[in-house]
Amino acid sequence: PLAPAAETQLVSPPLVAVRPPGFDAAGTAISPNAGFAPAANVAAAPAGFVRFLPTNGGDPLEVPAARVSGGQSVILGRSPEGGAVLNDKTVSRRHARLWLDPANNLNVVDLGSSGGTFKGAMRIKSATYSDGDEIRFGSVMYRLSLPARVPGNPGGWSLAGVDGENLKIDIRIVPKRDRATGNGIDTLWSIGRNDESSDIVISGSSISSSHARLRYRQHSGLEISDVGSSNGTFVDNRQIGKDYVSLANAREVRFGDFRFTIRPV
């Protein structure tokens, strides 16, 4: 059986790239609906740790990936309440906010620290870090070690397009994961105009109440099928039916009049 729908998100402008859900760029809590449409349940977190390996002496710092994934974030600093404690006099009590994005990069927002946050030699307000990057909090320098993705186990997919008013739509598809192994598990999403019965809601006259389905399967990846919609579902301009079609090499998906480019994230 397929698991319930995992993370989907329908976003209208402005689309904020480096910002954890529920917080502004300064790390202050904001209204959950400020610029974002409601999201469904987030995906299970990947396994492993985000590791900060010291390059100038001191102890390593480890943060469970589960604490900084699926819309969660931690605050690094001297305060034990933030979730990632770094006890150094050049580090502020609330120094920086950390979280992993679907592409498995570490996003960091400095919270107005006195000692600063750095990527290499550059002081940053917000930045994205990859595995092996140098990161410094105050005078404490680390090399970043991120949890490896399971081979063939995608972080998710983005369906990007515009609506009838030329406003950007960004739908994020992330399969649920086994908490012990980090492997993606079979997941199903329904697509349609009806916000009560659809996991992914697209509002438009060319979209049927129940229009299409997406599914992720461990051995075949992401697939799509039409469920008898009035105006059709298309993959790279080819209309599909009720049989599932692989999206492994697809570039565009169309629901009625709504076109989306598809890419892994």
- 139 shares its domain with 175: no
Domain end among 117, 145, 173: 145
pLDDT of residue 154: 60
Same domain, residue pair 109 and 165: no
Q: End-to-end distance of the chain based on CA atoms, in angstroms?
A: 26
Each residue of 197-222: pLDDT tens digit?
898 888 889 999 999 999 998 778 89
Final residue in a domain of this structure, among 97, 122, 145: 145
Residues 163 and 139 reside in one and the same domain? no
* Same-domain status, 114 and 185: no
Please report the pLDDT score of residue 238 as a whole number. 96
124 within a domain of the structure (yes/no) = yes
pLDDT exceeds 80 at position 8: no
Identify whether 88 is part of a domain: yes
Residue 61's domain spans which residues? 49-145
The per-residue pLDDT for 181 is: 62
234-244: per-residue pLDDT in tens? 999 999 999 99
- Pair 76, 86: CB distance under 8 Å: yes
257 and 172, same structural domain? Answer: yes
User: Can you give the pTM of this predicted structure?
Assistant: 0.48
On average, the pLDDT of the chain sits at 79
Number of compact structural domains in the chain: 2
Tell me, yes or no, whether 256 and 161 share the same domain.
Answer: yes
Whether residues 195 and 215 fall in one domain: yes
The amino acid at residue 82 is G
What's the CA gap between 54 and 77, in Å, rounded? 16
Whether 192 and 117 map to the same domain: the answer is no
Residues 122 and 178 in one domain: no
Pair (134, 192) in one structural domain: no
- Is residue 40 in some structural domain? no
- The answer to whether 142 and 53 have CB atoms below 8 angstroms apart is yes
The three-point CA angle 215-218-224 to 5° equals 20
Query: pLDDT for 106-162, tens place per residue?
Result: 999 999 999 999 998 999 998 989 999 999 999 999 999 998 765 555 668 888 887
Q: Is residue 37 domain-resident?
A: no
Higher pLDDT, 4 or 229: 229
CATH code (residue 207): 2.60.200.20
Are the C-beta atoms of 224 and 214 separated by less than 8 Å? yes
Q: Return the closest-CA partner of residue 226 out of 190, 201, 193, 250.
A: 190
24 located within any domain:
no
Q: Is residue 121 part of a domain?
A: yes
Query: 18 pLDDT band (50/70/90 cuts)?
Result: very low
Residue where a domain stops, chosen among 123, 145, 167 = 145
* 104 and 137 assigned to the same domain: yes
